[in-house]
Amino acid sequence: MISIESGNSIGMTLSPSSSTIESMCSSTSSISEKKIDGQQSSHFHRPRRRKRTISKGNHYFGHLMNIISDLMLMIQKECKTYSQNVNTEALQIIAAGVAGMLLLPSCYTTGLIMTSPTIASVWDGPMIPLGCFSVAVLLKLEKRSRDYPLSQVGSLLLTVGGSLIVLMADFIHGNDHKTVTEKEAGMSHMQFVQGNIVLSGVVASYSATSLLQKQLTHYPPITLTGYMFAIGFIGCFISLSLDSILLGGSLTGCTLGQAFYQLHLALTTSPTFQYGLLYSAYFVGGACFSIGSYASSHLESSVITLFAACQPPMTAVLEWIWEGKGFGWKKVLGMCCVCCGMCGFTYIKRLESHHKHDKVRV
């Protein structure tokens, strides 16, 4: 009550309190300044850390890696823009023509010269469906059967094995085995290995042609075959020209001028060559690839190439018709294996196609 009534006493008591507050602030500021000065002085007395020096080699290596990464990005962008402008169908047609009309006959003829007709027939017939199915599955162009995987592979192997039995029946039987072994006795081991490597190109080129024809089913079969023939002719002409100019005919065995002269001489003097050329052009080349192109629009490539295993049984039937040569139990067994294997493989493919259509409808 006394402090409230006497206002002078309150003013007198407040004035000393303000001075004490100012003195306290000044003392705390001086203390903080001393602490800062002490920290700075202690900081300056600490030993300095050495900066990490980057060597010139590491610097140049990092700079080089940056340049390489920039170049890779530029190449990737250019490839993307180039792929958008390129006609992929034209490239597929060119690849089909090179594989079917240039590499396929070249590999077969060269391998036939380096090995024997029996070995060439093994690569040209039974091995083609096996190779095509393997390549189609690896490239994910076709899928193995989910419900019957072992039956599918087993039927394929049964077809290939039966075709080999029919093909090798005469080779194993009696006098034919003796003549073939005498012929192959003079063949060097290296030439035999090289011939088989070349003949493996028959399987690769035939499989590539069949798979590419499957991608080009919207073209008419005869039109696509005509394009392939033209590309194969241009490829043969270019290969002969390069061999005659650069290698002097050492690769093909003759120069371009000699090849045209031999062709003209054979056409004018040999009727057998004329008939053989017509048969090869119309039936072996034109009809075969046209039928393959037409079948590609309805069947898968592995089913189409499966019929290549029928070549030895069909040859045995033609020998029986024209030459009167008997079959024998080995050929009959092989034919039965081929028929059973083809029926099983195509039946499994048909079931898979029905399952796909049912899923699409659902």
What would the DSSP string read from start to end of 23-48? HHHHHHHHHHHHHHHHHHHHHHHSPP
- The residues near 184 (Cβ < 8 Å, ≥ 6 apart) are 116, 192
More confident residue, 37 or 295: 295
Give the range among 168-172, 202-206, 278-282 with minimum mean pLDDT.
168-172
Average pLDDT rounded to a whole number, residues 173-200: 65
Identify which of 91, 88, 93, 87 has the alpha carbon closest to the alpha carbon of residue 220. Answer: 93
Query: What is d(CA 303, CA 159) in angstroms, rounded to the nearest whole number?
Result: 12
3-state secondary structure 259-297: HHHHHHHHHHHCHHHHHHHHHHHHHHHHHHHHHHHHHHC
CB-based contacts of 243, cutoff 8 Å, min separation 6: 249, 250, 251, 252, 255
Q: What confidence tier does 3 reach under pLDDT thresholds 50, 70, 90?
A: very low
Q: pLDDT tens digit string along 115-148? A: 877 788 888 888 899 888 888 888 888 888 888 8
> Closest by alpha carbon to 330, among 171, 165, 175?
165
Q: What is the band of 340 on the pLDDT scale with cuts at 50, 70, 90?
A: very high
pLDDT band with cut points at 50, 70 and 90 for residue 242: confident
Say which residue, 337 or 82, is predicted with more confidence: 337
pLDDT category of residue 187 using cuts at 50, 70 and 90 = low
Q: Is the pLDDT assigned to residue 149 strictly greater than 60?
A: yes
- Quickly state the pLDDT bin for 173 (edges 50, 70, 90): low
Q: How far apart are CA 123 and CA 108, in angstroms?
A: 9
Residue 87 is given by DSSP the state -
Q: Which pLDDT does position 322 carry in this prediction?
A: 83
**30-39, 135-144, 152-161 — which is least confidently predicted?**
30-39
Look at residue 180 in the predicted model and tell me its pLDDT: 46
Pick the closest to residue 240 from 258, 253, 256 (CA basis): 256
Higher per-residue pLDDT: 177 or 145: 145
The span from the CA of 250 to the CA of 191, in Å, is 17
More confident: 175 or 93: 93
61 band by pLDDT with thresholds 50, 70 and 90: low
Task: Answer yes or no: is pLDDT of 240 > 80.
Answer: yes
Residue 16 has pLDDT above 50, yes or no: no
User: Nearest 5°: phi and psi at 300?
Assistant: -80, 160
> What number is the average pLDDT over the span 297-305?
86
Q: How confident is the model at residue 25 (pLDDT cuts 50, 70, 90)?
A: very low
| Greatest mean pLDDT among 43-47, 157-161, 325-329 | 157-161
Determine the pLDDT at residue 170.
67
- pLDDT classification of 319: cutoffs 50, 70, 90: confident
Distances (CA, A) of 220 to 65, 205, 208, 275: 51, 21, 19, 27
Distance, CA of 169 to CA of 191 (rounded, Å): 25
Count of beta carbons in the 10 Å neighbourhood of residue 22? 9
| Choice among 158-167, 186-195, 279-288 with the minimum mean pLDDT | 186-195
Residue 171's pLDDT band, with cuts at 50, 70 and 90, is: low
Of 307, 285, 312, the C-alpha closest to 296 is 307
